[in-house]
């Protein structure tokens, strides 16, 4: 569109530099929005517009796509998703690490619910089928667009249950059929969580068979691999084999080398992945922190979970089995207890323990660290998470800066909405909110601050492509992830001078700075850095045109 064209834009962003998400260099252009779409990109200064934003000195980029979240249920409780919007995220992928609350049939519902207790949010489960769950998400009008995956835990729980055994032939067929139905109803693919029950009880043959269904329809397979520590290399080979044998598009989730003896192994895994990527669609994602976060019960040996989370809690009541679990924990020499923080808990009673190291809590309770862990899991009925420092910063940097790496926060939950940023920054007391990993608020701005601004390991346009265009291409999202005419107007205006993450392990609930405008489908969710309260996200159903 040329200057002087009489058409009227709803929004016109002028004087900014566009980073379009393809990986090409920034360029000066104005961006005009009509309705939910980008109507024009070019010299538009003289065009008429109902609303005009002067982006002098700012970057105009596609909305960030968070390829790895666990917001499935949290979105029902907190559809405003302020932790995402405030860092520029306009689309989230849910159902990761094998964990989705759907599909689920009657009698396994409670077990699955207990497995997902840390991302549960106290919502009533009113769904069985995949499409029904998406209807629920749609009804709350989320602020962000949603790309849903089927969690393998739910799929296997529905058909096989929580037993540790191979699926029988008819069960495998039933899982394939269910997977197919889920994709018909809008799922973009499958995720596995091969350290979590019951996903961990599946063989590679089962994963290949299920992914053949996904591959036939062009979906993706995201995997939390069978090991991220001692058996990391074998696990990467299994993931690559699954993709090669089934033909599915592979996304290795939150790639890392966990625990000190394994640091440096990513040099090898990146080579393995690179080689596979020559002939297959393979990527991975990461977040820019050296601490991970998961259930506290992830530290327990897998056999403790045979039969499901309630069987695990029963075992803790049995003197003999409790002793065995305790010994397994105590014999794990690469576990450093002062590096494991207890994050969120379910009970008010233990809320003051949030954010404290296991060693500190152990002292307080007069227990050994391993006994403390078992006590907490029992007391909180498994609804207790941890933040643990397990990675080497050099590994994290190497992974993030690799061209095949996309950015995903792995955030577990959406904290209740906090008030707009106080000025000056006043951290809220941890006790009033569940403790979360700072990645919840800081992932995307931290990549920009750390890897672009501070150490120059990525250029602006390389970093933005990892958060937008490359991610959209991986998922197969149509008309999203780029600043381009006729694309959906998911856009961010940010100040490259000011952009930075503010959330820390001490004060994790601080939103980022420098993100000024966030548009979701043409409507601002953030204006001049403040939430507008408008929620204009779409539940994106696989195969539909949105």
Binding residues for Zn ion, rule: CB under 5 A, are: 97, 224
Strand locations in 79-155 (E):
89-94, 145-148, 150-151
- Closest C-alpha among 546, 542, 498, 545 to residue 95: 542
CB 63 within 8 A of CB 492: yes
Q: What is the phi-psi region of residue 222: left when phi exceeds 0, alpha when psi lies from -120 to 50, beta otherwise?
A: beta
**Which residue shows structure tokens 């849910």?**
94
**Which residue shows structure tokens 């979970």?**
305
Backbone angles phi, psi at 469, to 5 degrees: -60, -45
Given the complex with Zn ion, which of 21 and 98 has the nearer CB atom? 98
| Cα-Cα-Cα-Cα dihedral sign, residues 221, 436, 125, 378 | positive
CB of 97 to Zn ion, least distance (A): 3
Q: Is 423 exposed, middle or buried (0-12, 13-18, 19+ CB in 10 A)?
A: exposed
CB 535 within 8 A of CB 95: no
DSSP 383-395: --EEEEE---HHH
- Closest C-alpha among 541, 540, 536, 475 to residue 79: 536
CA 459 from centroid of its chain's CA atoms: 23
CB 493 within 8 A of CB 58: yes
CB of 500 to Zn ion, least distance (A): 26
DSSP 22-60: SSPPPEE-EEEEETTEEEEEES-TTSEEEEEEE-TT-EE
Crossing angle (nearest 10°) for helices 266-277 and 232-246: 10
> In what side-by-side order are the strands of the sheet with 385-389?
291-295, 385-389, 340-342
Given the complex with Zn ion, which of 58 and 99 has the nearer CB atom? 99
- Closest C-alpha among 245, 222, 216 to residue 543: 216
- Measured distance CA(88)–CA(519) in Å, rounded: 9
CB 63 within 8 A of CB 468: yes
CA 93 from centroid of its chain's CA atoms: 6
CA 52 from centroid of its chain's CA atoms: 33
């Amino acid at each position: 569109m040329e200057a002087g064209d009489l058409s009227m834009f709803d929004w016109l962003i002028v004087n900014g530099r566009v980073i379009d998400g393809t990986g090409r260099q920034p360029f000066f252009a104005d961006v005009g929005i009509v309705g939910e779409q980008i109507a024009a990109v070019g010299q538009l200064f003289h065009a008429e517009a109902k609303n005009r934003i002067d982006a002098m000195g700012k970057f105009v980029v596609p909305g960030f796509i968070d390829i790895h979240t666990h917001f499935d249920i949290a979105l029902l409780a907190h559809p405003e998703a302020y932790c995402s919007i405030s860092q520029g995220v306009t689309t989230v992928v849910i159902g990761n690490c094998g964990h989705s609350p759907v599909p689920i049939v009657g009698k396994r519902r409670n077990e699955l619910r207990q497995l997902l207790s840390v991302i549960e949010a106290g919502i009533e489960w009113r769904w069985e089928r995949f499409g029904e769950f998406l209807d629920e998400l749609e009804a709350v009008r989320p602020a962000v667009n949603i790309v849903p995956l089927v969690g393998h835990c739910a799929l296997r729980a529905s058909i096989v249950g929580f037993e540790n055994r191979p699926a029988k032939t008819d069960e495998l067929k039933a899982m394939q059929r269910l997977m197919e139905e889920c994709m018909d109803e809008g799922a973009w693919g499958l995720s596995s969580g091969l350290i979590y029950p019951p996903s961990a009880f599946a063989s590679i043959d089962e994963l290949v068979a299920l992914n053949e269904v996904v591959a036939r329809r062009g979906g993706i397979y995201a995997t939390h691999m069978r090991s991220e520590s001692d058996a990391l290399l074998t696990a990467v080979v299994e993931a690559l084999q699954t993709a090669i044998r089934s033909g599915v598009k592979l996304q290795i989730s939150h790639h890392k080398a966990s625990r000190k003896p394994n640091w440096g192994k990513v040099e090898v895994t990146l080579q393995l992945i690179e080689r596979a990527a020559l002939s297959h669609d393979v990527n991975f994602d990461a977040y820019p922190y050296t601490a991970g976060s998961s259930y506290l019960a992830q530290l327990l040996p897998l056999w403790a979970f045979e039969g499901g989370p309630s069987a695990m809690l029963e075992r803790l009541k049995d003197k003999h089995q409790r002793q065995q679990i305790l010994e397994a924990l105590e014999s794990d020499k690469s576990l450093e207890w002062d590096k494991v923080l207890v994050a969120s808990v379910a009970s008010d009673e233990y809320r003051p323990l949030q954010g404290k190291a296991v060693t500190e809590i152990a002292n307080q309770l007069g227990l050994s660290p391993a006994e403390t862990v078992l006590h907490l899991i029992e007391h909180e009925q498994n609804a207790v998470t941890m933040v643990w420092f397990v990675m080497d910063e050099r590994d994290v940097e190497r992974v993030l800066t690799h061209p095949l790496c996309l950015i995903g926060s792995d955030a577990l939950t959406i904290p209740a909405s906090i008030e707009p940023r106080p000025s000056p920054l006043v951290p809220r007391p941890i006790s009033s909110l569940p403790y979360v990993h700072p990645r919840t608020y800081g992932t995307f701005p931290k990549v920009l601050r750390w890897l672009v601004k501070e150490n120059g390991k990525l250029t602006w346009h390389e970093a933005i492509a990892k958060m937008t265009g490359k991610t959209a291409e991986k998922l197969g999202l149509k008309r999203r992830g780029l600043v381009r005419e006729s694309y959906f107007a998911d856009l961010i205006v940010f100040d490259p001078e000011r952009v930075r993450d503010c959330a820390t392990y001490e004060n994790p609930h601080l939103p980022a700075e420098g993100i000024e405008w966030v548009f979701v489908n043409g409507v601002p969710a953030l204006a001049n850095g403040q939430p507008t309260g408008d929620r204009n996200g779409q539940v994106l159903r696989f195969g539909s045109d949105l």
